[in-house]
Amino acid sequence: MNWQKEKKRFACAWAGMRTAIKEEEHLRVHIALAVVAIAAAAVVRISKWEWLILLLTVGSVITLELINTAIERVVNLVTTDFHPLAKAAKDIAAAAVLFAAIVAVAIGIIIFLPYMIDK
């Protein structure tokens, strides 16, 4: 493995993360909600399996938001004029985030509701 190349790849990925956080309000909101969910999970002491599901869920929403951001940039690079394909690409990418967010809310309810009812 070429460590210099790996280091550069990691630096590029980190730069991408910083750019997305700086420029995308939705990503900042998702990260804030993830921090709240993780803090709540630590407080109510969810089980190992619940941690796995929670981290996968939170990770998938943030990952999809990053991909959505990248798709938006590529579409804007290709055209700033109105184009039905540009609209479809952005709308479908946004739909992916929305779908993951709805599933995340459902999973959050399934995980946290029993802890709230038992109190």
Ligand X SMILES: Nc1ncnc2c1ncn2[C@@H]1O[C@H](COP(=O)(O)OP(=O)(O)OP(=O)(O)O)[C@@H](O)[C@H]1O
Structure tokens at 59: 């990770």
- Is residue 94 at the binding interface for ligand X, with CB under 6 A as the rule? yes
72 is in an annotated binding site: yes
For ligand X, give the closer residue by CB, 9 or 87: 87
Is residue 65 flagged as an active site residue?
yes
* Range 14-33, binding ligand X (CB under 6 A): 24, 26
Site track 48-87 with ligand X (rule: CB under 6 A), x = hit = ------------------------x------x--xx--xx
| Region label for 60, one of left (φ > 0), alpha (ψ between -120 and 50) or beta (otherwise) | alpha
- Is residue 40 at the binding interface for ligand X, with CB under 6 A as the rule? no
Structure tokens at 41: 């999970």
Query: What's the rounded Cα separation, in Å, for the pair 73 and 89?
Result: 11
| Residue 48 contacts residue 41 (beta carbons within 8 Å) | no
Query: What's the rounded Cα separation, in Å, for the pair 31 and 17?
Result: 12
Q: Which residues bind ligand X (CB under 6 A)?
A: 24, 26, 72, 79, 82-83, 86-87, 90-91, 94
**Active site residues per annotation:** 65
